[in-house]
Structure 1
Amino acid sequence: MPWRGRTTTSASWASDAAVRSRGFTLLELLVALAIVAVLLGLSAGLLSRLGSRNALEANQRALRALLRRARNASREERFGAVVEFERGENAVVAQQRTAITHFRFEAKEALDLSEGTRLKGTADDDTPPPWRTLGARGHSLVVDGGEQVVGRYGLGVLFAATGPLGAAWAHAEERPVLNPREGVFVECWVYLGRLEERLHERPRRARPTKRQEELWSRGGEPPRETPERLVDFSPRDPPIFYAVRKGRAFSLGVTAAYEVEVAVTGPEDPDFTYIARTRPGTLRPDRWYRLAFSFDGRTVRIFVNGIPRAYLPCHRPDTSLFEELDGAGASEVIVGGQKLPGREVLDEAELAAAGELGERLRAGADRGGEGNGDGLVTRSEFLARVPSALIADEAPLICSDPHPDRAFYGVIDELRFAGILRSERLPLPDELVVVASADRVHFDFLGQLDPTRHPEPFVILLSDDERAYSILDPPPEAGGEEERSQTRARRAEEEVRRRNLRIGRAPFERFLAALERGDIDPNRVRRLVVQRTGLVRE
């Protein structure tokens, strides 16, 4: 007998499906939304913390990579590199040397007649014909009056007198790459002749010819008569014989007192020329020397045979800034901070009486940060200021000088010309705090920390903890005159400008003390250590 059970109709199936698919009640919906909100809050906090930690580690890796590239560049170029923390820009900048050209003076090519250049001397002029030598990276140097002789390595060029008003010199074709603005490095081997002989053989006065005036003007100097030169020159203003020169931008030369002299002119005040000069008797005649100098916008360094030589900052202006105030005696050279003749300090009344000259002096003092806050400007502080960059000068890069009174007397070989440029820049985010004991990391030519500037390993601390701001920069006391005078916009702008970088021994020690006390979360702090060997560790 077949089984007779309950049969299920389509209506019953529909009712069961309706029961099973009913929606949430209001209470169930509120509970579900609360659970989702709690989960989202927890996940958002974890993700933000993880993202902040990842951002901190990413900035640490970027800064570490920049330090390593600067170290590798110093080893490759065999020249020191610098990593600088820019406070006003909230960035880290790497500054290194970049080779531009190198003249070995080995190859010799005659000039083309189409250039309109004389190829041989006339009967009354035994000057050797001009010729061209090629350098690295497509640069060429035209030698006028110089002869090839045995140099320090291979062949060099002898620059000597070519007549009463003639001079041997060489010039390169002007290109933008030969006019670096941020910094420059020049190196060459020189064999000095007896410079006192050049002082005797020059005439007292002579009128230059039209061709000689054109040659002198190409060197960046206006045509003028040959000045009278005496053997017993003033020790503060000895005659200068240029080895390498770029108009008024920079020059490297040797004085008649056998000093190495470097002159640089900045865009702040084109009438002001900063001159660095070694002590008298640094060089001797009839010997080979490797002369070099570097300028990086902060310092001028002079090298003799690869050894940095101390120099005395001085000023030999073409038009004296102080001559209108104290007479001719005020235009003498200042050496080693020694006071000039006459009054040393100019007050506000004297600056106001000087008119435009006083405004230039005051602007120079304000720009360099000199002065003691009482309206006084000292000559020593103004004259010892190094320019921050080089002026743009369209004069060609020359060896020796077309003017006979400034032409080099000796042999020049292995001329190297390079620029010191800011090769890389790493901007820092606003939420990151970088603490260091100094504003510069110096690597020497071996890629190691410069022991003269860093006696111990260089430590850099990075943190994104908000409590670090109040610890490093405590707020001023409420109700003070300074607090009332500042507006909110000015305080906000100043906070953004000073927020990231805390440079100096005092903030560095305060940060370490707060980290030891637990005021700063150690999990939100990263450390970079530049060891004495130049290696960068975390």
Structure 2
Amino acid sequence: MMSPISSNRPGFTIMELIVVLAIITMLVGIGLGAYIRLSAERTFEGHATSVAELLSLGKVISQRTNSPVMVQCDPYENSVRVVRETTITLFRFEDVSGGTVTGTGGMEGLIKNAQSVAGYIGMGLEFGTQEGLKCSNSYVEFSSNYLLSPPGGLLIEAWIYPGDFNGERFKQLLGKTSEDEKENKTKTKEKDTFKKRYLEEHRFYIVELREAYYLRLTESYALEFGIVPEETAYPFRTRNGVIKANMWNHIVVRYEVDDLRIYVNGVNVSVFWVSDEYRMIPLYKMKESQRELTMPKRIPETDQPFYISAPGDSFYGVIDEVRIGAIAPVEEYVIPSSVHLMGTKKRIYFNAKGELDPYYHSSDEVVLLTDRFGYKPPPEEKGGFSEGGSLNAPPTPEQAEELKKEEEKQETDDRDSRMAILRVSASGEVSLSFMRWSKYFGGGKDEE
């Protein structure tokens, strides 16, 4: 016989159920929070590892291809890009018998009124010094070659020994120029000092350049570089006096889509755009429309001849070790917005041996990443210029309270945020370590 169910059996009260549910919720919250933090840390470590692998890839590619490689870390785009340099041709001028110059890759040029002399390494070519000859007739001409118009980016490297510009001395170093050349001998009486000087320096300037690029030296010993897609455009130039007369100068020009850098003897010199009003505008202040006009996305593919020096605009002095190269992207990694590259743009150059190139780096390079919420990189480099500041009135009580809350939040971010330190040694080896934000900027040395 079944016993009746007792209605007096003890059960759970509402309060007990609420307490149990609260405990379960708390435990789940603790576990979920720990899981989220662990997942975030692993994600941060994963992205940092990906950046380290890309830096290491630069070393590996340079060793395997025996060619220089550049890795660009851009915090403004939050991306890391590997770019390979390849040598299209190298002219060493060691053997100019038969009146010709032969570069690597079989490129052969015809010498016009230039002579073999001692160069920076071995022998070089001297232009514009022969007795009884006009300087405008001293150059080396190469037939058109599409390889000399690389689509990704252009690299120019050379050693030059310029003489004193006395009288009508011409000064184009190299470039692809149009066959339709005209000399502009008109002088100006403009009151504007720079405009007058600029036009006087270019009184023999080739004004009908079409589909060309060129590198030239002015009478003020400034460098000029220009790319002309279809019609005459105004060039980019450095400050006066960056090149020294009667001594060897090493020049490197790197043109990559919308970025132009000029190095003289290992120093990155400031670059200015010469506007249509003959004003010197720093490259970083150029408007987007101006960049699109004067800095095309690719080097024009032209059928123009290539010159070292040039007819009608010849260099006066000695040129040696001319290298023309291509700059082409290999791989790019865009970092998610939860992780940030720190600092300003950084370029890391590996030489053909996979080591940090001492021409660009005097010590180890360090790349920093952080998961700090809301991190923003500092304003882009201003090329030696700084914007003016302003004085602010004392904050109101409400503003002071907001500032206090912001400081408290910043202390929390400092305590919780992590950093990844990627160090590239002189040998090109990449090491990765992690540290809390507060320890790194607070002088802490203990890494996690």
TM-score > 0.5, shorter chain as reference:
yes
- Shift in Å at residue 415 of structure 1? 0.9
- Shift in Å at residue 504 of structure 1? 1.8
User: Aligned pair 1:145/2:113, yes or no?
Assistant: yes
Residue in 1 aligned with 2:368? Answer: 459
Alignment of 1:83-162 (within 5 A): 83-85=72-74, 91-108=79-96, 110=98, 131-160=99-128
Distance in structure 1 (CA, Å) of the matches to 2:320 and 2:408: 53
Residue in 1 aligned with 2:8? Answer: none
> Aligned partner of 2:102: which letter?
L
- 1:308-337 residue CA offsets vs partner (Å, 9 max, x unmatched): 263461416xxx4xxxxxxxxxx4x21367
- Shift in Å at residue 254 of structure 1? 1.5
> Aligned partner of 1:301: which letter?
R
1:231/1:109 CA distance change after superposition, 3 Å? farther
Secondary structure of the corresponding residue to residue 50 of structure 2: helix
Residue in 1 aligned with 2:14? Answer: none
Residue in 2 aligned with 1:11? Answer: none
User: Aligned pair 1:228/2:185, yes or no?
Assistant: yes
1:383/1:527 CA distance change after superposition, 3 Å? closer
- Shift in Å at residue 410 of structure 1? 2.1
Residue in 1 aligned with 2:11? Answer: none
Is 1:134–1:140's contact at 8 Å kept on the other side of the alignment? Answer: yes
Residue in 1 aligned with 2:213? Answer: 250
Residue in 2 aligned with 1:351? Answer: none
Secondary structure of the corresponding residue to residue 236 of structure 1: helix
Residue in 2 aligned with 1:379? Answer: none
Residue in 2 aligned with 1:495? Answer: none
Is 2:75–2:342's contact at 8 Å kept on the other side of the alignment? Answer: no
- Unmatched 5+ residue regions in structure 2? 1-31, 171-175, 190-194, 380-406, 434-448
Distance in structure 1 (CA, Å) of the matches to 2:292 and 2:166: 30
- Shift in Å at residue 451 of structure 1? 9.9
- Shift in Å at residue 66 of structure 1? 0.8
- Shift in Å at residue 388 of structure 1? 6.2
- Shift in Å at residue 253 of structure 1? 1.6
Say how many residue pairs are matched.
348
Distance in structure 1 (CA, Å) of the matches to 2:62 and 2:200: 36
- 1:385-420 residue CA offsets vs partner (Å, 9 max, x unmatched): 9736444141233101122xx111222211112223
Secondary structure of the corresponding residue to residue 153 of structure 1: coil
User: Aligned pair 1:433/2:342, yes or no?
Assistant: no
User: Aligned pair 1:187/2:82, yes or no?
Assistant: no
> Aligned partner of 1:435: which letter?
H
Within the candidate set 284, 295, 299, 1:387 is matched to: 295
Distance in structure 2 (CA, Å) of the matches to 1:249 and 1:510: 58
- Shift in Å at residue 449 of structure 1? 11
Residue in 2 aligned with 1:293? Answer: 253
- Shift in Å at residue 456 of structure 1? 9.0
When normalised by structure 1's length, the TM-score is 0.51
Distance in structure 1 (CA, Å) of the matches to 2:300 and 2:177: 15
> Aligned partner of 2:338: which letter?
V
Alignment of 1:261-280 (within 5 A): 261-265=223-227, 272-280=233-241
Distance in structure 2 (CA, Å) of the matches to 1:136 and 1:278: 33
Residue in 2 aligned with 1:402? Answer: 311
Alignment of 1:496-535 (within 5 A): 504=377, 527-530=420-423, 535=430
1:69/1:383 CA distance change after superposition, 3 Å? closer
Distance in structure 1 (CA, Å) of the matches to 2:133 and 2:101: 24
Within the candidate set 131, 134, 140, 1:170 is matched to: 140
Is 1:72–1:447's contact at 8 Å kept on the other side of the alignment? Answer: no
Alignment of 1:35-46 (within 5 A): none
Is 1:84–1:94's contact at 8 Å kept on the other side of the alignment? Answer: no
Is 1:199–1:231's contact at 8 Å kept on the other side of the alignment? Answer: no
- 1:150-174 residue CA offsets vs partner (Å, 9 max, x unmatched): 3232222222278569612223343
1:279/1:91 CA distance change after superposition, 3 Å? closer
> Aligned partner of 2:323: which letter?
R
When normalised by structure 2's length, the TM-score is 0.60
Task: Calculate percent identity across the aligned residue pairs.
Answer: 18
Is 1:248–1:264's contact at 8 Å kept on the other side of the alignment? Answer: no
Residue in 2 aligned with 1:204? Answer: none
Is 2:158–2:321's contact at 8 Å kept on the other side of the alignment? Answer: yes
- Shift in Å at residue 515 of structure 1? 5.5
> Aligned partner of 1:424: which letter?
E
Secondary structure of the corresponding residue to residue 237 of structure 1: helix
Within the candidate set 244, 260, 267, 1:308 is matched to: 267
- 1:181-201 residue CA offsets vs partner (Å, 9 max, x unmatched): 44322222223233224359x
- Shift in Å at residue 101 of structure 1? 1.8
Distance in structure 2 (CA, Å) of the matches to 1:532 and 1:78: 19
Largest Rg, 1 or 2? 1
1:512/1:418 CA distance change after superposition, 3 Å? farther
- Unmatched 5+ residue regions in structure 1? 1-44, 111-130, 201-217, 321-330, 338-363, 369-381, 463-467, 473-501
Alignment of 1:415-426 (within 5 A): 415-426=322-333
- Shift in Å at residue 52 of structure 1? 9.4
1:65/1:515 CA distance change after superposition, 3 Å? same
1:234/1:458 CA distance change after superposition, 3 Å? same
Is 1:102–1:136's contact at 8 Å kept on the other side of the alignment? Answer: yes
Secondary structure of the corresponding residue to residue 62 of structure 1: helix
Is 2:141–2:306's contact at 8 Å kept on the other side of the alignment? Answer: yes
Provide the aligned C-alpha RMSD in A: 5.1
